[in-house]
Amino acid sequence: MATLDKIGRYDFLAEPFHCDFSKKLFMGHLGNHLLNAADFHSNDRDFGMNYLNPIHKTWVLSRLAIEMEDMPEAYEKFSVETWVESAMRYFTNRNFRICSTDDKKVYGYGRSIWAMIDTQTRQPQNILEIRDGEIMKYLETEKECPIGGLSRVKMGKEAKLVRSINTHYNDVDINGHINSIKYIEHVLDLFDISWYKSHRLKRFDIAYVAESYCGDELNFYQETIDENTFHVRITKSNDEVKDVEVVRSLIKFIKD
């Protein structure tokens, strides 16, 4: 198989029912498009789900940051570029660029960290052993991703429990656990629609600490960093555990 370009570029449409009251794409749907682009890119280069699933392995998202200057509007076509910046034994760093299809406008960028796990044991797998390290041929170290690095999101003890929700069928993804993007949507739902009428979401950082599953109760602890910046920790509770941390996130707004 011929070696493809290191950078993949995929076109999407801001479908109207994937947009909010301002006619701008929901952050959750943008997140789905980024994950789709990552999936297309890895599958095209033979280290994606199509190759991994039959050998009982899969990619899982460990951390994600999305920073946007603007969002595509309803019916706008836009493109997502993605590339692997680095690869280590257990993690890869993958970046994203979101732009208009004619490349005249850049909406924003994303950074992510992915791990590979065994689908049966849920244990980390050596990425460099897959296809004799095929992924190393596709490292792109020169292309710029001009946003800050991924945040560790340190939370203090003053975070307050602000909401608890149950998880259901629509929260579960192809890997059998709560969908990575669903956490983002649930966190953004902590802010009232009136807040979004006067604030624009600038950046969202999320770190996935542990898996949760259908039937788990998710508990949301929030603390205010400044008037436009918030940290949210999500824990899970079920018949066996109580308040086990699964996610940490940072949400930064800009007042319109």
What is the per-residue pLDDT for 146? 98
155 belongs to a structural domain: no
* 84 and 203 housed in the same domain: no
2 belongs to a structural domain: no
* 108 and 180 housed in the same domain: no
* 220 and 119 housed in the same domain: no
Give the residue from 106, 138, 170 where a domain finishes.
138
* Mean pLDDT calculated for residue range 98-118: 97
Secondary structure class of 221 (helix, strand, coil): strand
174 belongs to a structural domain: yes
* 122 and 222 housed in the same domain: no
How would you label 101-134 residue by residue, b for 16+ Cβ within 10 Å and e otherwise?
eeeeeebbbbbbbbbbbeeeeeeebebbebeeeb
* 118 and 165 housed in the same domain: no
The per-residue pLDDT for range 11-52, each reduced to its tens digit, is 999 999 999 999 999 999 999 999 999 999 999 999 999 999
**Cα–Cα distance measured from residue 173 to residue 176, given in angstroms and rounded to the nearest whole number:** 5
* 133 and 21 housed in the same domain: yes
72 belongs to a structural domain: yes
The per-residue pLDDT for range 171-184, each reduced to its tens digit, is 999 888 999 999 99
Please check whether residue 23 is in contact with residue 75, taking contact to mean a CB–CB distance below 8 angstroms: no
Please check whether residue 233 is in contact with residue 88, taking contact to mean a CB–CB distance below 8 angstroms: no
* 29 and 63 housed in the same domain: yes
149 belongs to a structural domain: no
pLDDT band at 2 (very low <50, low <70, confident <90, very high): low
183 belongs to a structural domain: yes
Q: Identify the DSSP state of 174.
A: T
152 belongs to a structural domain: no
* 19 and 129 housed in the same domain: yes
Residue ranges making up the domain that contains 214: 160-255
pLDDT band at 256 (very low <50, low <70, confident <90, very high): confident
* 131 and 186 housed in the same domain: no
* 127 and 164 housed in the same domain: no
* 74 and 172 housed in the same domain: no
**CATH code (residue 86):** 3.10.129.10
What domain count does the chain have?
2
Which stretches within the chain are classed as H helix? Answer: 27-44, 49-52, 180-188, 193-196
| Helix, strand, coil % in the chain, rounded to nearest 5 | 20, 40, 35
Please check whether residue 150 is in contact with residue 63, taking contact to mean a CB–CB distance below 8 angstroms: yes
